[in-house]
Structure 1
Amino acid sequence: MAFDIIYNQEFTGDFFFDDEFNFKEYESCTFVNCDFTECHFKNAVFLGCKFIDCNFKAADINNISLRGVNFLNCDFTDVNFARIDQFIYEFDFTNCKMDYAKFYALNLQHVSFNSCSLISADFMEANLTKVLFDNCNLHLAEFEKANCEGADFYTSYYISLNPLKTKIKRAIFNETALPGLMSHFDIIVKK
């Protein structure tokens, strides 16, 4: 099936329905204040696109490609990213709400999460090598069996991960993260 190609367009305040994005390629497009809550993304490609103030809450994302994509002030509550195309990807998130989002077993190397809420996000078995978590709320986020080697958690907070079940070699943490790293050992850390 041939893809419809949409190039260099801006979409503002649009409400998208069901399968509008299936088998379409968007290149250098900007989406501002758009609502994707009813969308079922299947076999869509986004190249060099920006999403600003968009709502993806509980959208169905299935086999989409994200290459050079920026998300700013978007809501991804309860979105399952586990089925995105992992062949060639590049995306980052700034000031996004991503509570209960699922990144299970994804290869997210070098992705940036900047000032995001990731409460109860699922990063189990994900490759988070050199991922930047800058000023993120990681309350109850799950990292079991994830590879967090070289990840930067320095400015993030409410981190709780088990160093015996998560690879954290050369990961960067602030000293305030020590209680969350030690909580699995049933010890008390005092200052």
Structure 2
Amino acid sequence: MSNFFDDQDFESIDFTLQSFKKGEYDNCTFTDCNFENLHVSNTSFLECTFIDCNLTNVKFGGTTLNQVIFDSCKLLGADFSVCQPFMLDIRFRESILQLANFTQLPLKGTSFTSCQVTEVDFTSADLSQATFTGSTLSKTIFDNTNLTKADFIGAIDFTIDTTNNNMKGAIFSKDNLEGLVTHLQLNLK
């Protein structure tokens, strides 16, 4: 990678109209930027923050995301499964993740705080010690997923089959247990 950006702020840039330079971004902040349908493949983002950005259908092939925060971002159709798994460390806050893909990724300790996580695929991902505090998990897929000690306090609208996911020590509110027994076809009253 020839381009190196350190401690820079990128604000209100539409990268669909202006060229995005691939390279290494260290400790950079992107605010109100548009990355829709953009290829950021083989780019490194280290200790970066994305605020109010549109990352709809962004292409992450081979991208490094280490200590990256997505705050109030739109990530529709984002395929994180093709990111570099080594040192992958991402956090989401008040973001919209719809039709996103996290299959087979090491996401231990990842936080999804007050997010809309809709039709997201976590098949075979390691979400041990992850937090979903205050998030809506409508139609999200947990299949052969490691949810050991994951925190679902305040999470709603989820369905998790307890027979094909590792859930040892996972934390749930007493009032949100319905999503754990849906596969049993019980009548809860």
The aligned runs of 1:81-92 (5 Å cut-off) are: 81-92=80-91
Q: Give the aligned partner of residue 122 of structure 1.
A: 121
* Corresponding letter in the other structure for 1:20: F
Q: Give the aligned partner of residue 44 of structure 1.
A: 43
Mapped contact 2:88–2:106 kept (Cα < 8 A) = no
C-alpha separation in 1, matches of 2:139 and 2:175: 16
Deviation, 1:83, is: 0.7
* Corresponding letter in the other structure for 1:82: S
Give 3-state SS (helix, strand or coil) of 1:61's partner.
coil
C-alpha separation in 2, matches of 1:65 and 1:15: 22
Mapped contact 2:41–2:63 kept (Cα < 8 A) = yes
The aligned runs of 1:6-155 (5 Å cut-off) are: 6-17=5-16, 20-22=20-22, 24-155=23-154
C-alpha separation in 2, matches of 1:185 and 1:62: 38
Q: Count the aligned residue pairs.
A: 188
C-alpha separation in 2, matches of 1:20 and 1:112: 28
Deviation, 1:21, is: 4.0
Deviation, 1:97, is: 0.3
Segments ≥4 residues shifted beyond 6 Å:
none
Q: Give the aligned partner of residue 160 of structure 2.
A: 161
Aligned identity (percent) is: 29
Deviation, 1:3, is: 3.1
Deviation, 1:46, is: 0.8
C-alpha separation in 2, matches of 1:117 and 1:21: 30
Q: Gaps spanning 5+ residues in structure 1: where?
A: none
* Corresponding letter in the other structure for 2:15: F
TM-score (norm 2): 0.95
Deviation, 1:169, is: 0.8
C-alpha separation in 1, matches of 2:134 and 2:64: 27
* Corresponding letter in the other structure for 1:117: Q
Mapped contact 2:134–2:154 kept (Cα < 8 A) = yes
Deviation, 1:170, is: 0.4
